[in-house]
Structure 1
């Protein structure tokens, strides 16, 4: 299996780092008032996606590879041809910022609505960071270099690099316009190195976020990430305005919902073909609003590319019983197909991708 599926989803972005860091990291200190959310009961739904009803198409952009061709489906019905090695993408202006993977690692560029590539391509680390309203996207390359592209599609801004070795991984972007002006306060971009998280801003500031070893998600005043890693798993914390609100050793933290009320929690330890459980956590206190779980008899799905579609629904790419699908999960526990199942194997790359948000 190739190291795709959004590097086995954004929530497992630290899987490789975990192996390198496990022996050397100790738990970070959290605020004493932060809630401990371990061992929480929650309403559950078994993630068995066989025979679901067909629902509406995804309300976010998604890609499909069929007969050797890859197409990005836009929310307005557009179809943009893209390279077959497409791994991550985000709508931007009249086209998309795309990231492809290959033997030489990841490459990032902008493409127009007809698939025409922009004038420049970057060798980058895996990962795109997208602002809350989707008006800016950022990525990181060698020696911690960081760039952003705005909704004009052809305006590229560079930032002070973060002090890391190798290629950085952009995780979160705060602000919708990275060029400071009379109508903009600029932006901040959070980047993971091999063993530390940093941020760089359009003000020229480079620093480390408090409490977190690695960042995994961010939106509005909220930012989440990993505080410690070990052979047994990981512990994470959710911060609001840089103050720890709660911590957990049950989950790694992934995408935050558009209304900031929920955050996705994937397993605390990334192992195997892909995760089989997904928790929908309350952002304010870490309590579990809904848990999608594995079946004890093994008749359930593995998922990848978990992304909030709207405030009440999550889209995931699933694999079960030799079929790939895009499934819509509701906070109320509902499940339906957003893209109908297609036969495939676990030895091949998933035929579907969901946009980075």
Structure 2
């Protein structure tokens, strides 16, 4: 996408962003250039990650297990004793596999995207005509939900609740799945309720009572909002919202518009008010990294898959601005898929 900005548009955007974003955002944040060309080697990732080598792909578990999976792996999430995996190549396919790579009983044609509950007890996915499913901690036990009125293919975005089996367990159990249609965000619950997600055009992230997503998208960028218990807490036109930290204190902000090979800047925002506490920025000469798959490793660190100077790596970013390799760099082409993927949380 080619971005053309006139002086009038730039001024209008600046005024709009200033009106919507907290006064402490952006320019007051501590900044770190995302140059990953020469970092120290740190500990391995504390979440699962996949690696493709010589035509084979394995998921590295945090317990040292190596699970063989399809080379078409796109997304995966921990679930019970195995993983929910989604593969691409034609229409996406989702299924559960055991830690030794043995497939579960079912396989589903779905839309892109897996959504995971905060404690990882539920993984949701969606498909054509608003079909929504969850897989729970019993592995390949699958539940179906009432369909949102989606024309086309739905995409799972967020899960609230750790048990979708109504009538089982202690009182109060239940779950809600946020899904995106082509033009609108909806939710469907284990109570049988289906409705639109208020205020958001698309849901991008969620954890507990927090839900974030885009409110508008144009050729020149996007605006987003963060909701708590369905009420808007803050808005921004500086970022799209990504993963929320395990302690709910921070949310990742990617650029408000996408252009080129991949993003080169990443913000860490305070979930409660949208203020920016750390910015990982690009070098002025363009020599810094591009990143993908940004996922919180713990409450103080983010893992990203990076590409710089012909090398792919998994890098650990600290909220304090620290950077180190979690998986050492590997030479690879910018024209090929990344050899690394991080689990969806």
TM tier, smaller: over 0.9
TM-score by length of 1: 0.89
Unaligned runs of 5+ in 1: 1-14, 16-32
Give the corresponding residue for 2:149.
Answer: 163
Give the corresponding residue for 1:280.
Answer: 268
Q: 1:46 aligns with which of 29, 33, 38?
A: 33
Is the CA contact 2:106–2:140 (under 8 Å) kept in the aligned structure 1?
A: no
Instruction: Describe the superposition over 1:254-289 as per-residue Cα deviations: whole angstroms up to 9, x where unpaired.
Output: 000000000000000011110000000000110111
- In the TM superposition, what is the alpha-carbon distance from 1:215 to its structure 2 partner? 0.5
Q: 2:76 aligns with which of 83, 89, 108?
A: 89
Give the corresponding residue for 1:319.
Answer: 307
Instruction: Describe the superposition over 1:44-66 as per-residue Cα deviations: whole angstroms up to 9, x where unpaired.
Output: 00000011000000000000001
- In the TM superposition, what is the alpha-carbon distance from 1:34 to its structure 2 partner? 7.5
- Give the number of aligned pairs: 325
Give the corresponding residue for 2:162.
Answer: 176
- In the TM superposition, what is the alpha-carbon distance from 1:40 to its structure 2 partner? 4.0
Instruction: Describe the superposition over 1:316-341 as per-residue Cα deviations: whole angstroms up to 9, x where unpaired.
Output: 00000000000000000000000000
| 1:99-248 pair list within 5 angstroms | 99-102=86-89, 104-181=90-167, 182-183=169-170, 184-248=172-236
Q: Distance in 1 between matches of 2:240 and 2:264?
A: 14
- Three-state SS of the structure 1 residue aligned to 2:107 is strand
Give the corresponding residue for 1:11.
Answer: none
RMSD: 1.4
Q: Distance in 2 between matches of 1:70 and 1:133?
A: 26
Is the CA contact 2:302–2:316 (under 8 Å) kept in the aligned structure 1?
A: yes
Is the CA contact 1:144–1:167 (under 8 Å) kept in the aligned structure 2?
A: yes
Is the CA contact 2:26–2:275 (under 8 Å) kept in the aligned structure 1?
A: no
Asked if 1:356 is matched to 2:344, the reply is: yes
Q: Distance in 1 between matches of 2:27 and 2:38?
A: 30
Is the CA contact 2:20–2:237 (under 8 Å) kept in the aligned structure 1?
A: no
Q: Distance in 2 between matches of 1:215 and 1:249?
A: 15
Q: 1:75 aligns with which of 62, 81, 103?
A: 62
Give the corresponding residue for 1:59.
Answer: 46
User: Once structures 1 and 2 are overlaid, which stretch shifts more, 116-125 or 309-318?
Assistant: 116-125
Unaligned runs of 5+ in 2: 2-18
Is the CA contact 2:212–2:225 (under 8 Å) kept in the aligned structure 1?
A: yes
Is the CA contact 1:225–1:238 (under 8 Å) kept in the aligned structure 2?
A: yes
Quickly say closer, same or farther: Cα 1:40–1:286, change in 2 above 3 A: farther
Is the CA contact 2:69–2:101 (under 8 Å) kept in the aligned structure 1?
A: yes
Q: Distance in 2 between matches of 1:262 and 1:275?
A: 19
Relative contact order, higher structure (CA 8 A, sep 6+): 1
Q: 1:291 aligns with which of 264, 267, 279?
A: 279
- In the TM superposition, what is the alpha-carbon distance from 1:154 to its structure 2 partner? 2.2
